[in-house]
Amino acid sequence: MTSQEIRQKFLDYFKSKGHLIVPSAPIVLKDDPTLMFSNSGMTQFKDFFLGYKTPTAPRIADTQKCLRVSGKHNDLDDVGRDTYHHTMFEMLGNWSFGDYFKKDAIAFAWELLTEVYGIPKENLYVTIFEGDVSENLERDQDAYDFWKSHISEDRIINGNKKDNFWEMGESGPCGPCSEIHVDLRTPEEKAKVSGLELVNNDHPQVVEVWNLVFMEFNRKADKSLEKLPAQHVDTGMGFERLCMALQGKSSNYDTDVFTPLIAKVEEHSGKKYTGILEDEKDIAIRVVVDHIRAVSFAIADGQLPSNGGAGYVIRRILRRGISYSYRFLGMKEPFLYQLVAVLQEQMGTFFPELEKQGKLVSEVIKSEEESFLRTIENGLIRVEKLIQQTIADGQKVLPTQEVFELYDTYGFPDDLTRIIAEEKGLTIDEKGFEQALNEQKQRSKADSAQKVYDWVTLEEKPENFVGYDKLESETYITRYRKVENKDGEFYQVVLSESPFYPEGGGQVGDKGILENATESFEVLETKKENGLIISLIDGLPKDAGAVFYAKVNVSERKNSQANHSVTHLLHEALREVLGTHVEQKGSFVGPDYLRFDFSHFSKMTEEELALVEDKVNAKIKENIALQEFRNIPIQEALERGAMALFGEKYGDSVRMIQFGTSMELCGGTHVKSTSEIGHFKIVSESSAAAGIRRIEAISGDKAEEYFKNLEKQIAELSQLLKSKDVVRSIEKLMEENTALKSEIDIMKKEKAKGEIGEWKGAYEQKGDKLLLVKRTSLDAGSVKDIVFQLKKEIPTSITVILSDADGKPMITVGVSDDLAGIYQAGALIKDLAKEIHGGGGGNPGFATAGGKNLDGLENAYQKALKL
């Protein structure tokens, strides 16, 4: 059975049991402050478990892309070292939202595994929750009793809270679970040791394949448990492990989920995969084929590699893959990007985003590979210098701070530093490095640390967002909670009627005021969490149950919505000018400016930028009225021509924003007509990543302010130049400047000629060699010309020139060709440059170095005399 057939059989089975089959949610989470990535199949259904939203159907099934590389669920370090952990994996799952519970969930799982897939019953074991006294939780007797009707009691194993009480994080939905384990060992191995002894003991052939979670509780911030409004079922089956079991393999990497990727790596690297667990080459291949899947899906869902947040995690995964391929597969050139085509062929049918975004994904990965390989090459030079200095200092351990700086500042893999050092008979200070790493993590953690208390509920009532129609409203607080961070103590409030737009879709959240007759609080930000609109205020009202007036900061909202509306017009204009391949890849919409990232593979020309600007401003002048469809079926919106963004999760009904021919699915706030935008001005166009361009622009008040500043600058220039024709006056100044530069260059050359004559007679005989050490204030170009001339005209010579031109120390060394085999200019310059706190380099015959310590030139002069 192929992996594609295995996946399809799962979906078909649950469809036959009355489940709605839904597509996978994006792997990257954009509107959940508690998670960066979907780390389990239930993530997209969290609001249903908590009762914040009503599910589209009581029974649902899907295959969900998951990523576990941070926080509590982190499998990154295990990947490659064993045969069954992955960063990105598929989670086959079925859910019941207040419909069936333990009995049916257990029956479905057993029937699918044993009758549909045909796994021998004697190969299966199950676990149940044994209870926990500290939590006042009893043994899951119901699960035990239901399992008894399917499997012998000696195969039902008690499991502790760690293994059999599932929690998605520090807080949130949770409950007892029942795991199904499969024993894939040979009959001979089974005869020696019972599978009972190997369940949950990290045996590579006795693995958990399915987890049935019975959601009954919500874990609160104070660690207490409260009953959920209804009982739910959340199951997750590891697709890769299931394929291993059904294809009769002993490793996930031997299944057809990975073998096509492995074959491509073998083809490019010339290395043969043998499947040996400890073999570094095989570990590297496993790392590469695992990581390329995680990175490809993340990029396809809209998360580009970057230096912060989720983007940093993706960059780290990719760089780990590149590092392993460089070190153990000998791959010095980009090649991971070529695996994307193989992945598309394997998974494109079930995950169309790979087909649609394939070119972009491969371009981004290739660019990241090129960049990181340059980092490695530059790092190798730094490591070599560090090793040479350590040896010269008579030490055996590389300095901890420099090793950590290589890792932290330059991104050079610490294990590669370790390997190179060991080849030279040196080591690194492991404890010191770990301490530096932990200190950095603690600093980072302290910067983002936040303590969030439990909600205090004042009234159980649905909250209502009125911000599309109102900028202020009478309201009251339905719930609040305290928040503590490095800036102090604040309170998050949920309002019965909120005009504050919550951050989302690239648009910043509203700020404003929450006040009544006796109190006033500043609304610092507004966000959305688990379906709730949450505003952060700078204190707790004395009477939290009083009636308040919520007032949005009108000026900021007006500017933000103008910028948001203009991004829609910009998107349409870019597609008209550059082509329909242009798709939005990210945006920021604030009151001061907008940023728009889009797919395009070359720098825009000035003509293209001007044309885009003109098209947008023409739409603004047309005064096109907003057409808003607040609750339109998604299929109808798409048929009308609305743009849907990859990586976004849409419901069955959506909000569509239309300005004439511009139609997009969008939840943001917008102007009533395009004329309210005022004017649109592109400030910059640049590269955001490979295949991604970025436009930053302004509109409305900021555009007006921009042109006023330009007018002011031109007026000031006109006054300085004493001319109304500013352009012609500047051209004239530039012509004069060029002429003066030519005169200066002539004077410099004349001065240099005079110096050459003097310097030729200043060489000192040192045995059978000649040495010139000279101080000067000549510029770098003149010194270089003189040194090259001297090393040609004065045989068997070394020339050292120390310059203080423009108050900056510089040393230049020239070695005549007949001494190049004995003396190296690069080695001499390295030694002398220490005195000026600098560095440099060159070739055996010529080298230069700049520095920071001007006073050090005298020491360098004395040291050079001793050469």
Q: What is the average pLDDT score of the chain?
A: 90
- What is the Cα Rg of the chain in Å? 34
Q: Is the pLDDT of residue 820 over 90?
A: no
pLDDT confidence of residue 220: 86
Q: Is the pLDDT of residue 619 over 90?
A: yes
| Cα 557–Cα 563–Cα 667 angle in degrees, nearest 5 | 70
Q: Is the pLDDT of residue 758 over 50?
A: yes
Mean pLDDT of 492-500: 96
Tokens of 49: 């478990």
Mean pLDDT of 607-625: 97
Q: Is the pLDDT of residue 566 over 90?
A: yes
For 309, list phi and psi in degrees, rounded to 5. 60, -140
Collect all residues with Cβ–Cβ distance below 8 Å to 254 and sequence separation of at least 6: 244, 247, 275
pLDDT confidence of residue 37: 80
pLDDT confidence of residue 448: 64
> In terms of pLDDT, which residue wins out, 652 or 532?
532
pLDDT confidence of residue 32: 65
DSSP conformation letters of 45-98: GHHHHHTSS--SSSEEEEEEEEE-BSSSSB-GGGTTTSSS--SEEEEEEEEEES
> In terms of pLDDT, which residue wins out, 29 or 817?
817
Confidence of residue 646 (pLDDT cuts 50, 70, 90): low
Contacts of 153-157 with C-beta under 8 Å, sequence gap 24+, read 154/196, 155/124, 155/125, 155/126, 155/196, 156/125, 156/126, 156/127, 156/128, 157/125, 157/126, 157/127, 157/128, 157/196, 157/199
Q: Is the pLDDT of residue 430 over 60?
A: yes
SS3 of 443-476: the string is HHHHHHCEEECCCEECCCCCCEECCCCCCEEEEE
Q: Tens digit of pLDDT for each residue in 512-529?
A: 999 999 999 999 999 998
Chain-centroid distance, C-alpha 333: 23
Mean pLDDT of 815-823: 87
Confidence of residue 465 (pLDDT cuts 50, 70, 90): very high
Confidence of residue 71 (pLDDT cuts 50, 70, 90): very low
Q: Tens digit of pLDDT for each residue in 659-689?
A: 999 999 999 999 999 999 999 999 999 998 8
> In terms of pLDDT, which residue wins out, 582 or 443?
582
Single out the residue of 788, 776, 793 nearest to residue 813, CA to CA. Answer: 788
Q: Tens digit of pLDDT for each residue in 703-737?
A: 999 999 999 998 989 888 888 888 899 999 999 89
Confidence of residue 262 (pLDDT cuts 50, 70, 90): very high
Has 670 been labeled as part of a binding site?
yes
Taking phi first (over 0 means left), then psi (-120 to 50 degrees means alpha), and beta for anything else, what does residue 19 get?
A: beta
> In terms of pLDDT, which residue wins out, 570 or 435?
570
Report which listed range, 70-74, 80-84, 759-763, 807-811, is most confident. 807-811
Report which listed range, 70-79, 87-96, 738-747, is most confident. 87-96
Q: Is the pLDDT of residue 161 over 60?
A: yes
Q: Is the pLDDT of residue 806 over 90?
A: no
Mean pLDDT of 188-198: 92
Q: Is the pLDDT of residue 35 over 80?
A: no
pLDDT confidence of residue 222: 85
pLDDT confidence of residue 69: 73
Confidence of residue 165 (pLDDT cuts 50, 70, 90): very high
- Give the integer Cα–Cα distance in Å for 80 and 285: 8
Least confident among 110-114, 414-418, 519-523, 530-534: 414-418
Q: Is the pLDDT of residue 340 over 50?
A: yes
pLDDT confidence of residue 48: 80
Has 564 been labeled as part of a binding site?
yes
Has 666 been labeled as part of a binding site?
yes
Confidence of residue 75 (pLDDT cuts 50, 70, 90): low
pLDDT confidence of residue 70: 53
Portion of the chain with pLDDT greater than 70, in percent: 97
pLDDT confidence of residue 505: 87
Report which listed range, 22-26, 165-169, 419-423, 649-653, is most confident. 22-26
